[in-house]
Amino acid sequence: MVLLGIDPGMGLARPGAICALGGDGVIGEVWDIPVLRLGKSAKASLDHHALARIVCASRAGHAFAERCWNRPGEGRSGALVGCYMAILATLTTAGIPWTAVAPQVWKRVLGVPAAKDGARAEAALIATYGVRSIRSIEHSMEEKAA
C-alpha cells in the first residue's frame, strides 16, 4: 500500500511537500505542495486543482499529514492552517483515509530534532512514521487474533 506523508506549506521559496512511500519503505515520488503566485507579489495561494491531481495520481491507501494550528501572534499561520484544511478536504474527497499527526509526536518517535530543515525531507519522515504506525496496528491486530 502506498502511504502519503504530507508537510503542509505554501511558501513560494519553501513550499510544503508530499511524499509517496511504499509499504516496503521505498520512496516513490515527492512533490512540492503546488502554489500559485498572486500577481506580482511575493504572496502565494494553494493550487487546489494541482493538489487534487497529485493526490489522485498517488493512488494512496492512507495519508499522514502534519497537524497545523493557529498560534497567537503568527500572522501567516492562518494561511498555513487554510492549506492544511484544504489538504485534508482533498484527501477526504479523493476517498483517501488520513491521520493528522502533531510534529512533536512523529519527531519523538523517529528521533528527529525539532529544527525544521526541509519540507521534502519532513514529508518523507512523516510517511515513514505512517508506515511504522500501520505496521504497529497490524501487529496488534494479529496478536489479538491469535
Domain ranges within the chain, ordered by starting residue: 3-145
List per-block mean pLDDT (blocks of 10 residues) for the chain, which spans 146 residues. Answer: 92 88 89 89 87 96 90 64 94 97 91 74 92 83 78
Q: Which pLDDT belongs to residue 39?
A: 79
Q: Which pLDDT belongs to residue 7?
A: 94
Overall pTM > 0.75: yes
Q: Which pLDDT belongs to residue 75?
A: 55
Cβ neighbours for 15, distance < 8 A, ≥ 6 positions apart: 9, 32, 33, 34, 35, 44, 119
Q: What is the dihedral sign for C-alpha 105, 108, 113, 118?
A: negative
User: For the domain 3-145, what is the CATH code?
Assistant: 3.30.420.10
Q: Which pLDDT belongs to residue 72?
A: 63
